[in-house]
Amino acid sequence: MKKHVHYPRIEINTSKLYENAKNVVDYCGSKGITLSGVIKGFNGIPHVAEALGKSGCAHLASSRLEQLVRLRKRMPAFPFMLLRLPMLSELEMMVRHVDISLNSEMEIILQIEQHAEKLGKKHSIVLMLDLGDLREGFYSPEELIEAALHIETNLKHVRLAGIGTNLGCYGSVVPTAENLGALCSVASEIEERIGRKLDFVSGGGTTSIPLLLSDKMPAGINHLRVGEEILLNRDLPDLWGFSLPGLHQDTFTLKAQVIEVKNKPTYPMGELFLDAFGNKPVYQDRGVRRRALLAVGKGDFAMHDKLIPLTEGVEIIGSSSDHLIVDVEDCKEAVKVGDILAFNMYYAPMLYLTASQSVKKVYLKR
Ligand SMILES: *Cc1c(COP(=O)(O)O)cnc(C)c1O
């Protein structure tokens, strides 16, 4: 009997993540851009976040305050950035543990000032401008400028650190020289009126990197907040046709165990209605083929079509809450019960797998 090893597991290679972060930090640095390393994609697991913190990034950043609070115990002095606009109910916690946050509501900023005063702390703020992606941010540049001037002249514990924008996440709007150029114009106007440079003009995340690679980034942008490109390096090469050299893609690996292997038809028999999630999947009749069942499911990874099989001949055909079904007809070596199959992944499975209670986290160094 083999020693008991827990499956499913996700193996996280902290050396490769560090190298990716260092590479992106150095590349952006060479273009005059400082970086915040975004840790929310892996639930801010402290051991992994610590590896990213050594890369030279200016902050570690997350949209979830609880991840930063948990990390604070391990990294008492490292600058942390909160990416999601803070809730009124979390301001005290935020001011205690976070150095800089993205904001768009004066009501919240005024309360941050009060908490910071009470705690004897300083808190920095990046005001967000909505350039058409329609998630967070002031929609009116004039309103943003007015807020910036108010912070600069009236608040003592809140520092106006800069302005920023987010693109692509909701409205799928592409960052361009034009829309980021508009952010830079607003920044220049604020700088002129307050008589000093802003620390940060923050031009987005991973999807803004193509502008750097094609030398079209407006000169005023000096900061990015990057997660995906550091963690997985999948979106730029696969969706945008760009790539930064030297980045690993095998940073997060799911390993799951085969619990059944049988020859079965590929088209379900009987009257078809809806699957376990209320969807009507399309099934292709390819006759009888060999397929394997794995003990991991949507409850762990959410989206099977965002997993990438590492064994040649393995093809993902579907999943339910607790099962993943793969076609193994074309595998060179026969897949058998007890075998372990490995998968790399896109962003969504990384997000869910690193949070799943049933998935063991294993940290690798090369
Ligand atoms: C998640 C997030 C990012 C990072 O996005 P990536 O696509 O992972 O680089 C940047 N900014 C904000 C506001 C975010 O919420």
Compute, in angstroms, the gap from residue 166 CA to the centroid of ligand 1. Answer: 8
pLDDT average, residue stretch 325-353? 98
Residues 244/213, Cβ–Cβ less than 8 Å: yes
pLDDT average, residue stretch 289-297? 98
- Cβ of 38 closer than 6 Å to ligand 1, yes or no, is yes
Compute, in angstroms, the gap from residue 234 CA to the centroid of ligand 1. Answer: 15
252-364, CATH topology level: Lyase, Ornithine Decarboxylase; Chain A, domain 1 (2.40.37)
14-237, CATH topology level: TIM Barrel (3.20.20)
- Cβ of 205 closer than 6 Å to ligand 1, yes or no, is yes
pLDDT at 330 over 70: yes
Ligand 1, atom 13, lies closest to the CA of 83
- Cβ of 202 closer than 6 Å to ligand 1, yes or no, is no
Tell me the H-state helices in the chain. 14-30, 46-53, 65-72, 91-97, 106-119, 141-154, 177-194, 209-213, 228-231, 235, 298-301, 347-353
- Beta-strand relationship, 252-265 and 340-345: antiparallel
- Give this prediction's pTM: 0.96
- Cβ of 206 closer than 6 Å to ligand 1, yes or no, is yes
Share of the chain above pLDDT 90, in %: 92
Ligand 1, atom 8, lies closest to the CA of 227
Confidence band of 41 (pLDDT split at 50, 70, 90): very high
Q: For position 1, what pLDDT does the model report? A: 59
pLDDT digits (tens, 9 = 90+) for 298-309: 999 999 999 999
Q: For position 7, what pLDDT does the model report? A: 98
Q: For position 106, what pLDDT does the model report? A: 98
Compute, in angstroms, the gap from residue 38 CA to the centroid of ligand 1. Answer: 7
| CB-count exposure of residue 249 (10 Å: 0-12, 13-18, 19+) | middle
Q: Map out the domains of the chain as residue ranges.
A: 14-237, 252-364
Instruction: Tell how far CA 220 is from the center of its chain.
Output: 25
**What does the alpha-carbon distance between residue 17 and residue 313 come to, in Å, rounded to a whole number?**
28
pLDDT average, residue stretch 200-213? 97
- Cβ of 228 closer than 6 Å to ligand 1, yes or no, is yes
Ligand 1, atom 5, lies closest to the CA of 205
Ligand 1: atom nearest CA of 226 is 9
pLDDT at 3 over 80: no
Q: For position 104, what pLDDT does the model report? A: 98
pLDDT at 2 over 70: no
Omega prior to 349 cis, within 30 of 0? no
- Residue 159, token pair as written in the block: 């520092």
pLDDT digits (tens, 9 = 90+) for 271-282: 888 888 888 888
pLDDT digits (tens, 9 = 90+) for 355-366: 999 999 999 998
pLDDT average, residue stretch 54-74? 98
pLDDT at 4 over 80: no
- Residue 38, token pair as written in the block: 């975004």
pLDDT digits (tens, 9 = 90+) for 164-190: 999 988 889 999 999 999 999 999 999
Share of the chain above pLDDT 70, in %: 99
Active site residues per annotation: 40
Compute, in angstroms, the gap from residue 205 CA to the centroid of ligand 1. Answer: 5
Q: Which of 7, 6, 11 is nearest to 344 (CA)?
A: 11
Mean pLDDT value across the chain: 96
